[in-house]
Structure formats: structure tokens, C-alpha cells
A and B are shown apart, each in its own frame.
Chain A
Amino acid sequence: MGRGRFAPYLMVLPAGLWLLAFFLIPLSFMISLSLQTGNLIDGFQQTLHWRNYTEGLNTYGETFARSLWYGFLATVACIVLGYPAAYWIAFRAGHRQSTYLLLILLPYFVSFVLRTVAWRQVLSDHGPLLGPLRDHGLVPEGFRVLDTGFAVVSGLAYNFLPFMVLPIYVALRRIDPRTVEAARDLYAGRAQAFGRVVLPLSLPGVFAGAILTFVPASADFVTAEVLGGPGDTMIGNVIRAEYFESGAYPVASALSFTLTAILLVAIFGYARTLGTRNVLEAAR
């Protein structure tokens, strides 16, 4: 059975090599580039300087904090907005569960950029929401939603909501209805049965959703670019500008790696305490 023993390796190998060549090795190039000095015209040399990191953190510390804060707010918004809907679909939608899940996913057939641009249109000063209100004098003169932090956070929550709803839904579906019945039989009220049985059992889904929402939301730059103002810049916008507008590749790499490190700490802290299974299952 010599061939049989190597078969699984041969089957995993192509995908593994692809991920090695275009995911893991590039990460090491990014780290190496972040320690170099030089400029676009004369080229970059490896000098193992930490300066890019200290400078990057000093200059953009506030932007880092804002990105994580916006990511956090968007995650909380997704939990608050998504949990009740996931709960209703999982427990009360009956045979229409897949229909409702599909309805939640439907908007995501429109490209990420196009959706965000459409939000810009909806939220614009004379758009379908604010225009009529303004015409009737129902909002103050200088009131606007576009180009504010609120617009960015709501845009992020909008863009990443399914990553929250699906894992919570999956976790809720796993709950054996008999456990809830048992709680009721033991004279737990509705709120008590929810708080002490359903909610704790659904927490793995909430945690999985939190990682799947927080990580991409804090690293996003499209939403802040399209919906935010100059004061709402996220670290993604800075990194993009450093790569493409300043050509300051080492600084940009240092910032990217700092972001990666922060998010890795969050992810591995999560994986150590709760395991990776929930995230992998939620992702499908």
C-alpha cells in the first residue's frame, strides 16, 4: 500500500504549494521589506532598521486606534443587529429558513464596491433619505450623514453582517430543542431559558462571527474611502496611500505587518481559547 500512503499528500500538495507561494512566502517578503531603507528611484537595501515601525506607530498610532475602534463598533453593531434575525430564522422560520437566509445573502451578489457606492448615494445630502427631510426642514441646516464616522461604522456593519448572521445561525441550529424544553419543564421563564440555555450555547457562533467581522472590518479601507470624511481615515487607507501614492514601500510594509501582528494576537488568542473549528465551519 505504498501508493495509498502518499495519496493524501499528493492530493493536498498542489493547494498547499499554491498557498505557500502566494500566501506564506509573500508574508515573509513583506516583513523583509519593512526592515529596508531606500526609495523608489535608487532602490531599497536591507538595513534591518526598526525605524519604519517606530515612525509608523508614532505617526499613525491614532489611525490604528481608530481602525480598531471602528472595527469593534461595527462588530458590536453586527451582533446587535444580526442576533435577533438569526434567532428568528433558526427557531421560528420553519420551512422558510433557507429562503430567509438567502434574502439576507442576496445583497452580497452585488459587488462590494458597488454596494458601498450605492450607500453613498442613499446617504448623500440630497439623497432619497435626507433630501425629503431637508426639503421639509426636518433636519438642521448643516446636518449630514455622509463623511462622518457614523457613516463609516454603519457601512462596515452593513458590509460584514452576513459573516455574523451565518455563524450565529449555525450555532443556534445546533441547539437541541429538548434542552430548551427541559429548561421550561424546570420552570424557567422564557427570558431565563434564553439567558441560561440558548444564549450560552450560541456563544461559539457569536465568537466565530466576531472574528470574521472584526478582522476584515478593521483592515477595510473601501468603506472609509467612499463613505467617510478626511477625519475618518482608517489604517487601510494609509497603507494604500503609502504603497501607491508615496511609493514608501518599507513604511507601508511596516504598517501592514503591525496591523497583521495586532490582528494575529486577536485571532490566536481566540483560537487558543475557543478553537478554530467554529470559524472554519462558519466560513462555508
Chain B
Amino acid sequence: MTRPLTGPRVRRRVDALHVYTLLLIGWLLLPIAVMVLFGFNDVQGKQNVRWEGFTLKWYAHLFDRSDLTRALVTSLAIALASTAVTTVLGTCAGLALARHRFRGRRAADLLLFMAIACPELVMGASLLSMFVTIGVPRGPLTILAAHVMFSIAFVTVTVRARAIGLDPAVGEAARDLGAGPWTRFRLVTLPMIRPGVAAGALLAFVLSVDDFVVTSFTGGATVTFPLWVYGSTRTGTPPQVNVMGTLIFAAGALIAIGSARRTFRRAGRPDDRGDT
């Protein structure tokens, strides 16, 4: 693609915007750097605010705080379950919306839009209102129901975006060759939409593991990792939290970089979004 703007004056402007973008990224990464750094801080008291020397002991004693470890395990378990349920429901809905014209499609669009645009506070408050009114005890299951609820729209939209560009002739060819609906889905459709499903699943996992607002309304006495961290801000957040944050960040970053490289290599053209 040729750039319409060339010449020495333009070059300088390009560089200025480039520098700006790098500065912005630096600003975005600043608190992350502080979080990583203070995971190595040799804290003596309760407050992990001032630099007191380098140590690796928090990595060695990562699971010393049993309640923090339990919160992390709870978070991961709920996120895995939520991802599994959401991926199945969202993939089905996304496929149907991409392929079929049917009565109620516009209503489905509106519902998805509402679920994405609705603030978490309102979702949490209304779920709490319902659970209080009909007397449902709050715990891991109510958290799971809520997490699936706020992730479904994102997975549906992601899968639909991927499925909308597919050629229906491929599926018809499979039917002509005698493949039943399930075989067609497993051997033809699923491999074609897999990147969309994978992206949706990753999104669902991240949304669930990260969620604080809805969980605080629907969790009752159940404490997840974000809730534990939030609670610890009053008494002093232990360095183990920084270490766990660092490890989660590293894992997420590696997965994202890996998948970005893969899609990049496969697509070749980053600007082709495959939508209509």
C-alpha cells in the first residue's frame, strides 16, 4: 500500500506520533512495572509501598497465605467452568446468527447489544435484588451463573464475526457427500471457526478471572482473587499478590503473543478482517 504522504516535513510528524504512541504505551505499562518490581521488594512491615531491597522470597513463599491461595484457586475454577459453558452457548448462538435469517434476529441483536453495553454495577445490583427477593443463597454457583451471563454476548459476537465470512457451499458439499449434521459440524464447520471460538474462549476466561464488580454482588461469602486483593488494600497488600499478578500477566501475555503470531502468520494481511 502506498502512503500518500511523503517528504521530509512529513517524516518528522510521523516520528512525533510514533514517539507519542510509545509514550502512551509506557504510561499504560507503568503500574504493571511497579507491580512486577514490588513483587521483589524485601518488605518488613505490612505496607508494600517503599522499596526496601531486592529479594526472591515472595516467589519462594508464594502459597504461604492459605486464604489468598484459596481465593486464587476459586477464581481459576470458576473461570474454567464459566469458559466451558460460555463457549458452548456462545458458539451455538453465534453460528445461528451468522448463518440463518430468522424471526427474532433483530431482537437477538438488541439483547446482545444491551448485554455488552450494560454496566457491571447494574448487572450485579439486579442479580443481587433477584437473589435476595427469592432467597437464593449466594456462592460459587451464583457467581458462575453471573459470569456466564456477562460473557455470552462477547463470545457470540466473536464467533459470529468469524462465521459470517464462511462459504456455505463447503457445508453443502459435505451434506452431498453424506455427512450428517453432527459430522458436518465437527469436521467442517468447527475447524473453520476455530480461531473465533478460541478467541471467544480466551475472552470469556479473562472476563471471568478479572471480574470484581459482579462477583462482589453475587458471591456472598465466597472470595475470589480480585475480591481478596480489594479487601487487602485496607490492611496492606502482601507482596505475594504482586507475584501472582506478575505470573498471571506473564501467562496471559505469552498466550496472547503466541496466538497473535499464529494468526498473523496465517493471515499474512493484518488488515483483512473477513467481515462483510
B174 part of interface (Cβ distance < 8 Å): no
B102 part of interface (Cβ distance < 8 Å): yes
Interchain pairs with CB closer than 8 A, number: 272
- If over half of A's interface residues share one DSSP class (helix, strand or loop), that class is named, otherwise mixed; here it is helix
**B49-64 interface code vs A (CB 8 A; 1 in, 0 out):** 1100000000000000
A interface, CB within 8 angstroms of B = 7-9, 11-12, 14-16, 18-19, 21-27, 29-30, 32-33, 81-82, 84-85, 87-89, 91-92, 95, 97-100, 102-107, 109-115, 117-122, 124, 126-128, 158, 161, 170, 173, 177, 180-181, 184, 190, 211-212, 215-216, 218-222, 226, 236, 239-240, 243, 249, 252-253, 256, 259-260, 263, 267, 271, 276, 279-281, 283-284
Across the interface, which residues of A come within 8 angstroms of B40, CB to CB?
none
Residue of A nearest to B259 (CB): A102
Residue of B nearest to A161 (CB): B28
**B113-151 interface code vs A (CB 8 A; 1 in, 0 out):** 111111111110111111011100000000001101100
How far is it, in angstroms, between the C-alpha of A107 and the C-alpha of B24 when the chains are bound? 12
Contacts A14-B89, A219-B121 known; 7 new A-B pairs at CB < 8 A: A8-B96, A85-B25, A98-B264, A111-B209, A243-B125, A249-B132, A281-B161
Contact A11 B93 (CB under 8 A): yes
> Which one of A23, A33, A216 lies within 8 Å of B132 (CB-CB)?
A33
B183 part of interface (Cβ distance < 8 Å): no
How far is it, in angstroms, between the C-alpha of A32 and the C-alpha of B130 when the chains are bound? 10
Contact B32 A111 (CB under 8 A): no
How far is it, in angstroms, between the C-alpha of A200 and the C-alpha of B167 when the chains are bound? 33
> Which one of B21, B95, B125 lies within 8 Å of A88 (CB-CB)?
B21
How far is it, in angstroms, between the C-alpha of A146 and the C-alpha of B253 when the chains are bound? 29
Across the interface, which residues of A come within 8 angstroms of B4, CB to CB?
177, 180-181, 184
Known A-B contacts A98-B264, A127-B49, A239-B125; the reply to A117 vs B237 at CB < 8 A is: yes
Q: Could you tell me the distance in whole angstroms from the C-beta of A23 to the nearest C-beta in chain B?
A: 5
12 inter-chain pairs at a CB distance below 8 angstroms, sorted by A residue, are A7-B96, A7-B100, A9-B102, A9-B104, A22-B127, A104-B28, A110-B245, A121-B48, A177-B3, A216-B120, A256-B126, A259-B122
B192 part of interface (Cβ distance < 8 Å): no
> Which one of A106, A121, A236 lies within 8 Å of B29 (CB-CB)?
A106
- If over half of B's interface residues share one DSSP class (helix, strand or loop), that class is named, otherwise mixed; here it is helix
> Which one of B34, B115, B133, B257 lies within 8 Å of A29 (CB-CB)?
B133
Across the interface, which residues of B come within 8 angstroms of A267, CB to CB?
117
How far is it, in angstroms, between the C-alpha of A124 and the C-alpha of B49 when the chains are bound? 8
Contact A15 B90 (CB under 8 A): yes
B109 part of interface (Cβ distance < 8 Å): yes
Across the interface, which residues of A come within 8 angstroms of B119, CB to CB?
215-216, 218-220, 259, 263
Across the interface, which residues of A come within 8 angstroms of B245, CB to CB?
110-111, 114
Across the interface, which residues of A come within 8 angstroms of B48, CB to CB?
121
> Which one of B1, B2, B88, B212 lies within 8 Å of A113 (CB-CB)?
B212
Across the interface, which residues of B come within 8 angstroms of A126, CB to CB?
49-50
Across the interface, which residues of A come within 8 angstroms of B125, CB to CB?
30, 239, 243, 252-253, 256
Across the interface, which residues of A come within 8 angstroms of B99, CB to CB?
8
How far is it, in angstroms, between the C-alpha of A119 and the C-alpha of B270 when the chains are bound? 33
How far is it, in angstroms, between the C-alpha of A137 and the C-alpha of B216 when the chains are bound? 42
Residue of B nearest to A129 (CB): B30
